[in-house]
Structure 1
Amino acid sequence: MSTPIRVLLVDDSAAMRALLRELLADTQDIAVIGEAADAYEARERIKALNPDVITLDVEMPRMNGLRFLENLMRLRPTPVVMVSSLTAKGAQTTLQAFALGAVEVLQKPAGTTNAELAAAKDELVRAIRAASKSRPRMRMAEPVNPAKFAGNVATASRFCLIGASTGGTEAIREVLERWRLPDVAVLIVQHIPPAFSASFAERLDRSSPLFVRHAVDGQALQAGHAYVAPGGLHMRIVRARGGYAIRLDESPPVNRHRPAVDVLFDSAMAFKRDCIAAVLLTGMGDDGARGMEALHNSGVFTIAQDEATSIVWGMPGVAVSLGAADRVVPLQHVAQTVADAARTRSSSSPAAGRYSEKRISP
């Protein structure tokens, strides 16, 4: 039997630590090896116990979770799952935790029914398992207010699709910071709680040359704009007068997610000639991989983030295993690869079909 994932619980609430310990008690591949009530106690426990994963509260006395996380990632990078009260008010703080290197952020268990506790346990176990396989790294601070693409209010006739999960908030930010195409609309599905998605879109807007918007049902796609699927809603692309629009709905989760990447990718199949690329970035699981395979097989250019730069090489890794990726590239090359694909497509005749050079990078 493999060695269990060794977890340290850090929270100033003894009751919350006890609940987290109870939720993990009968999970055979996870072992809680210690607890800490604040950052200073956590520092000593980490030195003594060398945990594989740390769960960390944001609001703590003496030193808050963000400051502790920043110090940890600088001095002793360790996979961290933030367990916080997820509210719209605290969304910017929690997004900063992602920027500092947190692998995942979860809602503190609040319900008391068996079903609510079972759901909280499932999310906690999933996050800890993902964190144990991750490559934690501290992110650089994002640039503020970059120059926006000027004068683009035209209806978008071409679009790009991006899907991501664990580690994706920062990966998407890096892709959009390097974006080269002012005449393309970008549709983004990131697995994210409803309380965070609007703030996530605002944060991307501050660091990207694109105008990044929290998607609204019926919204027409505009060139030079990116649209983030709201947490808790699936996003599809649909034909609208003169171009394309967004359709949002609360249909059942797909691959356990809503929004799901596969839902967006599948919706684009009817409009594949105007899809310049479909991109899968870091994330646990396989959401988006089969949708990417279908797009790939229909002639859409497809890109997967490589393993070395992924926090968790789940979704893009499955796509690669299915043969669904035309290119496998480091995160810092994704935006340029999309731009190259757009130029290749614009210079090819509609009859040319798939790109003449199909290459898989090492």
Structure 2
Amino acid sequence: MAIAVTSASTASTAAGDRLRVMVVDDSVVVRGLVARWLEEQPDFEVVASLRTGREAVDQVERLDPDVAILDIEMPVLDGISALPLLLAKKRDLVVIMASTLTRHNAEISLKALSLGAADYIPKPETNRGVTTSADFRRDLVEKVRNLGQRRRRQRGFRPAAPAPSSDERPTAGRTVPPVVDKPPTCKLRTLSPTIPRVLLIGSSTGGPQALNEVVGHLGSVIDKVPVLITQHMPPTFTTILAEHLSRASGRTVREGQDGEPVVAGRVYVAPGALHMQVARRDGGPVIVLQDGPLVNFCKPAVDPLLTSAAQVWGAATLAVILTGMGSDGARGAADLVTAGGSVIAQDEASSVVWGMPGAVAQAGLCAAILPLAQIASKVTRVFSGERS
């Protein structure tokens, strides 16, 4: 049995207000690497490095972690079985599921979200891949930081300012805003006087649950106009997401295909590892898939979809920006608003992470900033002619 545990009482005294993280993975290589990456961050402390879900369940109350990184495939007790047991013992624990890119694991990861996991992170399939993947390391650190800090704020804990992160590094000529404790007052714009002819949705961390809520209640909107979605997800995950959304909405939802016409009655999801854009060909809009460089550290990214849609539909475009880290969507939203279109953002209280919606809200690009539960009804009213 391979267990590395830091004394809970000692760690609490030494760590101060650092985020306490528990790493649970049956691979000693992965555990060691992840623990080392996290310990290098001045605002983190790894309180345990465990091999099985059973060890995690048995020790979670004593260790009192803020965040658990939980592998799916483990001996004795796997991740999906351990998840509800961990949350039963510590209801405010942030659990990030880690899984390799197989259809089976993608299904389990999305199921875990419905059982209370805060997020998932796709894990390279080999130990060598884990060792060499800068994207995996960056994404893991940022998910732990953003999700852990938000949960602490919900408990009324005010952490010290975090170390500079990838979300604060210059991106495409601008600086991405860091996590904020309290949003400033955001100035709202008036809705476009033109009734939209397309709906665009962008999301990231917390997006699968948010998309189920919104798309599942759009109903007549999907019958009237096409809906295009970019969710930050890898291949296979986006395929399964489309299947879940199809069941939730009772409409045709599938990954977009290069060159296919964009028509009312269908929902198009950007495929993992490809940017989904739109263009006008032979008088009508079509899907354009591009295997270009990362945009805002993402592929697919929201900005390319919004910018291209602004060129195709102009003022007849409505975009919704849901929960997610970083500021992807802000540049595209600015292009869309310049073309006369409108943007709705999810509010901070209902967002898992108020990065993406916060960026467009703070830039003054929104016609409305709403709780998740109110977004679908607002969108429905806008497509029915409401202009305020």
TM-score scaled by length of structure 2: 0.78
The answer as to whether partners of 1:293 and 1:325 remain within 8 angstroms in 2 is no
Which residue, out of 281, 291, 296, partners 2:322?
281
Cα deviations by residue, 1:305-354 (Å, 9 ceiling, x for unpaired)? 01111111111011111111110111111111111111227xxxxxxxxx
The answer as to whether partners of 2:56 and 2:86 remain within 8 angstroms in 1 is no
Which residue, out of 128, 134, 143, partners 1:112?
128
- Does residue 177 (structure 1) correspond to residue 193 (structure 2)? The answer is no
The answer as to whether partners of 1:58 and 1:66 remain within 8 angstroms in 2 is yes
Q: How many angstroms apart in 2 are the aligned matches of 1:331 and 1:49? A: 34
The answer as to whether partners of 2:315 and 2:339 remain within 8 angstroms in 1 is no
- Does residue 126 (structure 1) correspond to residue 165 (structure 2)? The answer is no
Q: How many angstroms apart in 1 are the aligned matches of 2:127 and 2:134? A: 10
Partner residue, 2:72: 58
- Does residue 88 (structure 1) correspond to residue 103 (structure 2)? The answer is yes
Q: How many angstroms apart in 2 are the aligned matches of 1:161 and 1:13? A: 40
Paired residues for 1:172-321 under 5 Å: 172-180=211-219, 181=221, 182-273=223-314, 275-321=316-362
What displacement does 1:91 show?
A: 1.8
Which residue, out of 113, 123, 129, partners 1:98?
113
Q: How many angstroms apart in 2 are the aligned matches of 1:224 and 1:74? A: 41
Partner residue, 1:25: 39
Q: How many angstroms apart in 2 are the aligned matches of 1:337 and 1:222? A: 22
The answer as to whether partners of 1:272 and 1:295 remain within 8 angstroms in 2 is no
AA aligned to 1:186 is V
Q: How many angstroms apart in 1 are the aligned matches of 2:209 and 2:330? A: 20
What displacement does 1:89 show?
A: 3.5
What displacement does 1:130 show?
A: 2.3
With 302-311 and 107-116 compared, the bigger mean Cα shift is at 107-116
Partner residue, 1:152: none
Runs of at least 5 residues in structure 2 that lack an aligned partner in the other structure: 1-14, 155-195
The answer as to whether partners of 2:30 and 2:127 remain within 8 angstroms in 1 is no
Query: Pairwise CA RMSD of aligned residues?
Result: 2.4
* % identical aligned pairs: 40
Partner residue, 1:141: none
Which residue, out of 30, 44, 47, partners 1:16?
30
What displacement does 1:224 show?
A: 1.4
With 290-299 and 183-192 compared, the bigger mean Cα shift is at 290-299
Runs of at least 5 residues in structure 1 that lack an aligned partner in the other structure: 138-156, 346-354, 358-362
AA aligned to 1:199 is I
Cα deviations by residue, 1:46-74 (Å, 9 ceiling, x for unpaired)? 20121111000112233321132233345
TM-score scaled by length of structure 1: 0.84
With 249-258 and 124-133 compared, the bigger mean Cα shift is at 124-133
Partner residue, 2:170: none
Structure 1 runs (4+) deviating above 6 angstroms are none
